[in-house]
Amino acid sequence: MKSYSTQNIRNVVLLGSTKSGKTTLSEAMLYEGKVIDRRGTVEGKNTVSDNAEIEQINQRSIYATPLYAEFMDTKFNIVDTPGADDFVGGAVSAFKVCDTGILLINAQQGVEVGTEIFARYAEQYNIPIIIGINQLDGEKASWENTLESMKEAFGKKPVIIQYPVNPGPGFDGFIDVLKMKYYHFTDENGTREDLEIPAQYKDEAEELRSALIERAAEYDDTLMEKFFEAGELTEDEIRKGIGIGNRAGDVYPVFCLSAKKDIGVKRIMEFTIKVAASPAERKNLTKDGKEIECKQDAPTSLFIYKTAVEPHLGEVAYFKVMSGELTEGQDLENPETGDKERITTIYAVAGKKKEKVSDLFAGDIGCTVKLRAAKTNTTLTQPGTEIVYEHIKFPPSKFRTAVKAHEQKDDEKMNEALNKISAEDPTIVVEYSKELKQTILKGQGEQHINIVRWRLKNENKIEIDLFPPKISYRETITKVAAANYRHKKQSGGAGQFGEVHLLICPIVEGVEATNKFKVDGRDLVLNIKGKETFDLEWGGKLEFYNCIVGGAIDARFMPAILKGIMDKMNEGPLTGSLARDIRVYVYDGKMHPVDSNEISFVLAARNAFKEAFRNAGPKIMEPIYNVEVLTPTEYMGACMSDLQNRRALIEGMGTDKGFDVIKARVPLAELYKYSTTLSSLTSGSATFTMQFADYQPVPGDVQEKLLKAYMEQEKDE
């Protein structure tokens, strides 16, 4: 393979819902680019892209696969991404290294929720979109319905470049209003005839071309002036205007495709090469917000956007050259850690096919092997080049489960394997919760987690058990209470003695601390001598007030009293959950000149706090999440009903580009397997996001159940 300059590189990510035909399109692109001489099929399990065993079993993309084609003297880098929201991490990684998105819409389905999701992501990451309406040869293909759904979803952004002739099983060509030609296909290998537009299509073609010229003229003053004067623009001028609008995110050029029959594939590639941005036109953002130009005549820097472990190669690092020229044998460093890395080998990548190359220029995508420490989100630069590129921000998890090895002896092996899987796919999050005493596995959905389970079983020979994770409850109080406790122990020699009197009250936002209280019918005024405030690592606060007068307790024992209180904050008196938002006033006590020591006051404080807590209107708090559901209108009622059964507080409803939106606050305890239920309720057409909001008291009946369950657990132990 020859070396390609930055101007002659195009980096394209294929986006769309499941079954929109991305993998089939990538096969046709590789065929047109002479990388393969025969196109595989998903059903035949022989495509370049879906080459992992699990993808072939499921007949769908699960991983984002980098590919390339050489076409029109251009290196056409392609990333084929999964269509399921569960595997969105692959698309998010691709956005970091691609400059244009080709969004496929299934002509038999129109714009689906998945289409909308990926369009949103592309907009969020500033990726211009070209639309390919695929499967126009399908039994249920409808050009009109697809256009209507696009208009509803994207407004006036879609701009028709082509429209089909004979959509449906007889689809064999289209009218191109940019070229003003009729492209007729004579076989299923992309062989086409470039013909004059038939008379019956001429009027519609002229009308669509006029609309195209008007849109092109909107984005350039010179073009607008010429349009007003002449009423016409040349083909190159139209491309220029549409390109400006596309890069601004205002224009989605629309093309006709049957990837399966290789109809329209060459044209969408030609258009992308001529109109879409080259890497040189897009700036790369650093962690400190600076913009770095993608130039060949600059110090070498690259960004690793993905890592994977592959048979016969070991760990493979996939990267984009962000600036300069990368050469075989070059020494680079990680500016964040100072680690040195040698690029021993460089490959151009088409799925499993790795073609060794001697160099890659700025903007190109490739891979290397045998890096010592560099992982996903690592920048490597020439020594002395202090550039660190902004990390990929992956979407938060939507599914969580507890996991343990079926055989206890496999626990360590399981943890190692999970950490490797997480390194390859950062949307898989593995953490051991000391609070819950569980290993928690998080992902984008149950399908996502099931892939992890399959890999552990088939690649690592480890059976695992998945079960509902415990909930990180919190304990707090709602009123004032006081208690005292004397710890006294005599065992022959030196004894133990410590007595602590304390008062507790809740920390309520906006309510200032006071020193005046009414306890058991009597007024209590405390003399505050010292205050310490602790922001607790699990959320909330503890305020500790020293109100000891007259030397009742020596100052050297106050840290021990604080430790005793903190011990019970770490293991709340109700259910053993963490406690928060409490003010503690230590106002009296006793000590012994010989027997008092630190442990005595730790134990006295712990027990006094425990007793006061139980008398202070204790409440269990639960984590609440903000949930936003995006669903087709016909499933709105089912989604609402299900949320209400989950103790949700509905905060708002609305619409967004043709879909209904529900905003709700939902307890985390009610969200286990929610993604699975939502998919089942809506035939896979709805999606949701969830984000931690705050802690709120659980209802009385729920608290009773939790207390009962905790008591049963303590009995068993």
Is 399-467's fold the same as 620-702's? Answer: yes
Write down the pLDDT at residue 717: 59
Write down the pLDDT at residue 492: 67
Residue 716 has pLDDT above 80, yes or no: no
Strands 541-546 and 582-590: parallel
Interhelix angle for 636-645 vs 674-681, to 10°? 150
Write down the pLDDT at residue 310: 87
Sign (positive or negative) of CA dihedral 646, 649, 653, 656 = negative
Over residues 659-667, the mean pLDDT reads 95
Q: Nearest to residue 477, comparing CAs of 504, 454, 458?
A: 504
Over residues 499-523, the mean pLDDT reads 92
Contact 670, 649 (CB under 8 A): no
CATH classification (class only), 289-381: mainly beta
- CA–CA separation, 675 and 488 (whole Å): 55
Write down the pLDDT at residue 656: 83
Indicate the average pLDDT of the chain: 94
Which helix (H) or strand (E) segment holds residue 227: the answer is helix 221-230
Write down the pLDDT at residue 171: 96
Q: Where are the domains of the chain?
A: 7-281, 289-381, 399-467, 475-617, 620-702
* Angle at alpha carbon of residue 489, lines to 486 and 495, rounded to 5°: 115
Burial class (CB in 10 A: 0-12, 13-18, 19+), 78: buried
Over residues 455-470, the mean pLDDT reads 96
- CA–CA separation, 360 and 5 (whole Å): 8
Alpha carbon 486 to chain centroid, angstroms: 53
Retrieve residue 591's tokens.
């000590």
Over residues 443-471, the mean pLDDT reads 95
Render pLDDT for 465-501 as a digit per residue (tens, 0 to 9).
Answer: 999 999 999 999 999 999 999 999 877 667 899 999 9
Q: What is the DSSP letter of 376?
A: T
- CA–CA separation, 474 and 373 (whole Å): 39
Helices and strands: H and E segment counts in the chain: 16, 40
- CA–CA separation, 279 and 274 (whole Å): 13
- CA–CA separation, 306 and 319 (whole Å): 7
Render pLDDT for 359-379 as a digit per residue (tens, 0 to 9).
Answer: 999 999 999 999 999 999 999
Domain 475-617 carries which CATH code? Answer: 3.30.230.10
Retrieve residue 362's tokens.
């700025």
- CA–CA separation, 90 and 23 (whole Å): 14
* Angle at alpha carbon of residue 553, lines to 549 and 558, rounded to 5°: 105
Write down the pLDDT at residue 248: 94
- CA–CA separation, 20 and 93 (whole Å): 20
* Angle at alpha carbon of residue 613, lines to 610 and 619, rounded to 5°: 130
Render pLDDT for 417-430 as a digit per residue (tens, 0 to 9).
Answer: 999 999 999 999 99
Interhelix angle for 265-275 vs 235-247, to 10°? 80
- DSSP letters for 121-142: HHHHTT--EEEEEE-TTSTT--
How many Cβ atoms are within 10 Å of 126's Cβ, its own excluded? 13
Pick left, alpha or beta for residue 291 (phi over 0 → left; psi -120 to 50 → alpha; otherwise beta).
beta
Amino acid at 494: A
Retrieve residue 474's tokens.
């919190």
Retrieve residue 107's tokens.
């002509």
Domain 399-467 carries which CATH code? Answer: 3.30.70.870
How many Cβ atoms are within 10 Å of 310's Cβ, its own excluded? 13
Q: Nearest to residue 29, comparing CAs of 67, 61, 1?
A: 67
Over residues 112-140, the mean pLDDT reads 93
Retrieve residue 351's tokens.
């799925």
Write down the pLDDT at residue 509: 87
Radius of gyration over every alpha carbon of the chain, rounded to an integer in angstroms: 32
Residue 282 has pLDDT above 90, yes or no: no
Measured between alpha carbons, how far apart are the two ends of the chain, in Å?
67
Tell me the percentage of the chain whose pLDDT exceeds 70: 99
Which helix (H) or strand (E) segment holds residue 22: the answer is helix 22-32
Over residues 166-178, the mean pLDDT reads 96
Whole-structure pTM value: 0.87
Amino acid at 480: V
Amino acid at 353: K
Q: Domain 620-702 falls in which CATH fold?
A: Alpha-Beta Plaits (3.30.70)
Interhelix angle for 235-247 vs 199-217, to 10°? 50
Q: What's the full length of the chain, in residues?
A: 717
φ, ψ of residue 306 to 5 degrees: the values are -165, 145
Pick left, alpha or beta for residue 129 (phi over 0 → left; psi -120 to 50 → alpha; otherwise beta).
beta
- CA–CA separation, 476 and 319 (whole Å): 49
Render pLDDT for 90-113 as a digit per residue (tens, 0 to 9).
Answer: 999 999 999 999 999 999 999 998
Q: Nearest to residue 243, comparing CAs of 280, 214, 271?
A: 271
Whose structure tokens read 């036109």? 281
Q: Is 45 helix (H, G, I), strand (E, B) or coil?
A: coil
φ, ψ of residue 65 to 5 degrees: the values are -110, 125
Domain at 7-281, CATH homologous superfamily = P-loop containing nucleotide triphosphate hydrolases (3.40.50.300)
Over residues 434-456, the mean pLDDT reads 95
